[in-house]
Chains A and B, each alone.
Chain A
Amino acid sequence: MALPTFGRRLGGAALLAAFVLFITLPFVMVLLEAFGSEWFGMRLLPKVWTLKWFGWAAATVDIGQVLINTAVIAVLATIVSLLLAIPTAWAIARYRLPLASLLMGAILFPRMIPEITFALGVARLSYDLGLSNTYVGIALAHVILAAPFAVLVLTSTFEGMDDRLLEAGTVLGCNTAQLFRRVILPLALPGIVAAALFSFLSSYNDFVLTLMVYGPDTVTLPVQTYLSIGNGYLSVAGAISVILLVPSFLFLLLLMRMVKPENLLGGLKGA
């Protein structure tokens, strides 16, 4: 094979740069909105760099409360998602269930279709059950999105578990509860943490379903960003977007440190 010539390398680099620019440009625009001021007419960049929009955001919106709402709902959704996903994934992975692939398909279905198609159903149930504008109601709506990923990750975790270790546990004297606590749980911990992170992010990121069931007491960060854009305070919306982005980045870093992305893909393929 011929070595790439300088021209080809340059062409490749230019393509790559164009791709990165394309992906990052929306974020760049958000950052410019959030940190820039006096940005009128045909100027490419703002004239003044400032943090004042964050101050405005804090003054016009109860950012602290919105953060608390978002976090509490995400934690609730994560807990419920894991409580549902751990036994489900165990059953799919460890027992020869009839129609296991159909079951898996049904569980994944909500992630394969537009949220808006069942948003109406979620809204109706919330109102009828009196769960709209409550943490629990929004968290339960988010579980529809969070649990499928958790089941997927945990199924491949449990499938990969060495039967011999479980047998060793029982011969050595573990009853079912001890086996779960001393063997299964520690062995599955990486998978459980990954499932928890996915669940948390599914809830933290959700906008469409939240929009259907939120109320004045349960505004979350994505909804607040939308409301601020709607109010026309673009720079305040930019600042809130940045606040929204920070935890997402932290989680991404955490996830990448914990599991290699290629392993994660392998796990998804295996399920």
Chain B
Amino acid sequence: MTAPWLEVRGVSKSWGRLAALSEVNLAVEQGMFVSLLGPSGCGKTTLLRLITGHLSPDSGRILVDGNDITRVPTHRRNMGMVFQSFALFPHLTVADNIAFPLAVRGLPEAQLRAQVAEALAMVHLEPYRDAYPRQLSGGQQQRVGLTRAIVYRPTILLLDEPLSNLDAGLREEMRMEISQVTRRLGITAIYVTHDQREALALSDAIAVMNHGRIVQFGSPEGIYRRPANEFVARFVGYANALPVDIAAGIATVAGVGVIAADALRDLSGPATLFLHAGDVRLDADAAPGPNQVPCRVVDLAFMGDHVEYVVEHASGLRLKAHAPIDDAPHARGSTVLATLPADKLVPVARQAPAAIG
């Protein structure tokens, strides 16, 4: 086992009495792409700024490749950063923006030009080399921002919500560009976002943050399929939350009955069963079986590649379901049987409401 490339050890930071980060630990292997995912105010941006050195921690240490950099000033950390606002220098051309970190490092002119040309070619920006940032679209500006951040091969690339200022269409394109470039260069990347789809799509690992703590760290698959608590489950987009009482390994939904779930572990007492909308199956008529809940269709919306249903059980329990477009649609008001697959239900012990972000 190799030592982690970036290590955050017991880092805390507070603003007056408000704790922005409490005892955060994080270890990132070299070449990994790690997302810090959480709602605004969860501490993800504070953690990023501690890693760049724009803030210094109240306690704890930050190490890169085994070296303590906690007291190293930002400009000597040799990190790269991509900003939400692009933060391109408006007085410099595209080529000069990309050359900036190289010029600051005193690279010889010939070498500098060669590297800038190579970088421009890599992101297909050669036609814009002499343009100023304001003459470019948002997507082009962010490509310049990305190129400027990696042209000097930083130890770590930090990305602070780099897609938030882009249009929906460009966002996906830019996301792929970020993914390709970082993997091609084998660069270690820390990606800050509040968008779980971006984090799931890009990351080797995700650190879900809430109230200044990392509440779950794991692979995108693990985070999505096995959320550690209610907060994570809701944040990664579980659309259905069934309140249950678990006793002796049996989960009961009030007014509905027993629901079988594979992964009850040793939970008991009040809990929540989470289920993705895409995992709920709706049938107009089906042979009665386990985990079926008779419901009435309250609402449906045609979403192009699927139909979104809201169905309601007589007890008032509402479920959301996504059905493929090729199935015969269920009309509003019609009766359906909703099947909740036992292997897809994720049971999580219920937390005190105050702990839910």
| Given A174-B104, A186-B91, A187-B91, also A168-B75 (CB < 8 A) | no
**What chain A residues lie within 8 Å of B148 (beta carbons)?**
172
* Contact, CB under 8 Å: B105 / A173: yes
Complex interface residues of chain B between 60 and 91 (CB less than 8 A to chain A)? 73-81, 83, 85, 87-91
Inter-chain contact total with CB atoms closer than 8 Å = 66
Among B53, B73, B83, B91, which residue has its beta carbon within 8 angstroms of that of A168?
B83
Q: Is B191 an interface residue (CB 8 A)?
A: no
**What chain B residues lie within 8 Å of A179 (beta carbons)?**
75
Shortest Cβ distance from residue A168 to the other chain B in the assembled complex, whole angstroms = 4
| Given A170-B74, A171-B81, A174-B75, also A164-B104 (CB < 8 A) | no
Complex interface residues of chain A between 165 and 200 (CB less than 8 A to chain B)? 165, 167-175, 178-179, 182-183, 186-187, 189
| Given A170-B74, A174-B75, also A165-B104 (CB < 8 A) | no
Q: Is A262 an interface residue (CB 8 A)?
A: no
Shortest Cβ distance from residue A261 to the other chain B in the assembled complex, whole angstroms = 23
**Chain B residue at smallest Cβ distance from A185:** B91
Shortest Cβ distance from residue B102 to the other chain A in the assembled complex, whole angstroms = 9
* Contact, CB under 8 Å: A171 / B89: no
**What chain A residues lie within 8 Å of B77 (beta carbons)?**
171
Among A162, A172, A189, which residue has its beta carbon within 8 angstroms of that of B85?
A162
**What chain B residues lie within 8 Å of A178 (beta carbons)?**
75, 104
Q: Could you tell me the distance between the alpha carbons of A83 and B103 in the complex, rounded to whole angstroms?
A: 27
**Chain A residue at smallest Cβ distance from B77:** A171
**What chain A residues lie within 8 Å of B149 (beta carbons)?**
172
| Given A170-B75, A171-B52, A183-B89, also A164-B83 (CB < 8 A) | yes
Q: Is B4 an interface residue (CB 8 A)?
A: no
**Chain B residue at smallest Cβ distance from A179:** B75
Among A182, A187, A189, which residue has its beta carbon within 8 angstroms of that of B104?
A182
Shortest Cβ distance from residue A203 to the other chain B in the assembled complex, whole angstroms = 29
**What chain B residues lie within 8 Å of A187 (beta carbons)?**
89-91
Interface size range of chain A in the complex = 10 to 19
Chief secondary structure at chain A's binding surface = helix
Q: Could you tell me the distance between the alpha carbons of A172 and B81 in the complex, rounded to whole angstroms?
A: 8
The proximity string for A residues 62-86 relative to B, scoring 1 for CB distances below 8 Å and 0 otherwise, is: 0000000000000000000000000
* Contact, CB under 8 Å: A172 / B90: no
Complex interface residues of chain A between 187 and 217 (CB less than 8 A to chain B)? 187, 189
Q: Is B152 an interface residue (CB 8 A)?
A: yes
* Contact, CB under 8 Å: B54 / A172: no
| Given A178-B104, A182-B100, A182-B104, also A171-B91 (CB < 8 A) | no
B75, B76, B77 — which one has the most chain A CB atoms within 10 A of its CB? Answer: B75
**What chain B residues lie within 8 Å of A168 (beta carbons)?**
81, 83, 87-89
Q: Is B329 an interface residue (CB 8 A)?
A: no
Among B54, B73, B101, which residue has its beta carbon within 8 angstroms of that of A167?
B54
Complex interface residues of chain B between 74 and 125 (CB less than 8 A to chain A)? 74-81, 83, 85, 87-91, 100-101, 103-105
Q: Could you tell me the distance between the alpha carbons of A162 and B83 in the complex, rounded to whole angstroms?
A: 12
**What chain B residues lie within 8 Å of A162 (beta carbons)?**
85, 87
**What chain B residues lie within 8 Å of A182 (beta carbons)?**
100, 103-104
**What chain A residues lie within 8 Å of B91 (beta carbons)?**
186-187, 189
**What chain B residues lie within 8 Å of A167 (beta carbons)?**
52, 54, 81, 83, 87
* Contact, CB under 8 Å: A173 / B89: no
**What chain B residues lie within 8 Å of A175 (beta carbons)?**
73, 75
Having A162-B85, A164-B87, A178-B104, one finds 17 other A-B pairs with CB under 8 Å, namely A164-B85, A165-B87, A167-B83, A168-B87, A168-B88, A170-B54, A171-B52, A172-B80, A172-B100, A173-B78, A173-B101, A173-B105, A173-B152, A174-B104, A182-B100, A182-B103, A186-B89
The 3 closest A-B pairs by CB, nearest first: A172-B101, A168-B87, A164-B87
Q: Can you report 16 residue pairs joining A to B where beta carbons are below 8 Å apart? A: A165-B87, A167-B87, A170-B73, A170-B75, A171-B52, A171-B54, A171-B80, A171-B81, A171-B158, A172-B75, A172-B81, A172-B100, A172-B149, A174-B75, A178-B75, A187-B91
